[in-house]
Structure formats: structure tokens, C-alpha cells
Amino acid sequence: MDRIHEIMEPDVITVPPATPVGELASLLDRAGITGAPVVDDEGKLLGIVTVRDVMRLAREVTEVPEAARWGLGAHLPDEGPGQMDLPLEGEFFAYYVTPGGGFVDLRDRIRQLPDSVFDGYAVEDIMSRDPVSTPSSTKVRELARMLVDRKIHRALVVDDGKLVGIVTATDVLRAVANG
């Protein structure tokens, strides 16, 4: 297998930009995923939205009194020294170890929030507009180098501006192992 179109997953759960954040939170929880690409009606990739984006919004619109109990300070930790020790989910950062050694799964924390926290907010308000992507013609070896260099575990596969799949580090390892 030489190109990532041979190893990518073409069936990706996506959301439109107008999706209410409350619906997004429910979808991520039901599907057991930590983020979703944001696409328009024609499948054009517009961005990506993650559980960290949802939690960041919650911190902005409410004091979230449970935050201290969860091991979160006044703000959701950013990737910096002394803020978060070990991201375990690549660019989605759904799980992390707090400086005090506690393990936090943001999906569990979002589930505990009142439904009204996200009223009036849509995915387009919180999504990241520049996700890591690559064309389906990329060589598997090039993708492996990109994942290592960027310290990520997955990339969105985009051809002509449209999302056509997702490929993970596990997909790359499987391709190498199967030769």
C-alpha cells in the first residue's frame, strides 16, 4: 500500500457549521468520538470541532462550579509547561492528565453540564478553521512523517477542498505491518 487512499476510513462523522453546540455534545458522546470535521452542504471541509472547543465555550459562558473538582483551574489548560502533562488523543485532546496527576475525560465533564449552557451557540462559533489535512494521493510514508513531525494521531483527507476520509496513525502502522 503506497497511497493513503488505500488505507483511509471514508466514512467520517461530520457536522454542518450551523449545528447547535448542545447537539454536537450529544453526538460526540453517543458516537464515542472526541471531535468531528465541519463540512458544508457540498462536503467542503470548513474546520474541525472537538470536545476541548465545547469545554472552552462552557468556561467562557458560565463559571462551571464543578471545574475545581474536575482538576481544572480558571481556564481550560493549554498545552504548556505546568498546564497539561500528557495529551492522549492527538489534536483532539479529549483526555489529559492534570498537573496534580488526575485523569480527566472532557466528555464526562460535558455530560455533567446543564443543557442550557450551550443555548444560542453553533459549531461555527467554536470550531477551528485550519485542521490538519492531506490529499488522498499522499504517500503513506509522507503521512507518517507528517504525523510524527506535528505530533498528531490523525489527519483529515481532503481532495479538491472536499473531505473524503480520515487516516490515523493506527492505519499507517497497520499498512506498514501488512506490508
Q: What is the CATH number of the domain that holds 46?
A: 3.10.580.10
What is the average pLDDT across 3-7? 94
What is the average pLDDT across 77-105? 47
- From the CB of residue 91, how many other CB atoms can be counted at a distance below 10 Å? 19
Total tally of structural domains belonging to the chain: 1
What is the average pLDDT across 31-45? 91
Residue 83's pLDDT is 32
Residue 96's pLDDT is 54
Residue 94's pLDDT is 55
Q: How far apart are CA 37 and CA 15, in angstroms?
A: 6
Q: Which of 77-86, 96-105, 129-138 is modeled with the greatest confidence?
A: 129-138
Instruction: Calculate the average pLDDT of the chain.
Output: 79
Amino acid letter for position 84: M
- Res. 127 pLDDT band, cuts 50 70 90: very high
Q: How far apart are CA 36 and CA 91, in angstroms?
A: 12
Q: Which residue has the higher pLDDT, 93 or 2?
A: 2
Radius of gyration of the chain (CA): 17
Residue 103's pLDDT is 64
Residue 104's pLDDT is 65
Residue 75's pLDDT is 44
Contact (Cβ atoms closer than 8 angstroms) between residue 3 and residue 136: yes
pTM above 0.85, yes or no: no
DSSP state, 94? Answer: -
Q: How far apart are CA 169 and CA 122, in angstroms?
A: 30
Residue 64's pLDDT is 53
Amino acid letter for position 117: V
Q: How far apart are CA 179 and CA 7, in angstroms?
A: 12
Q: Give me the domain span that covers residue 80.
A: 4-177
Instruction: Report angle CA 25, 29, 34 to the nearest 5 degrees.
Output: 80
- Res. 112 pLDDT band, cuts 50 70 90: confident
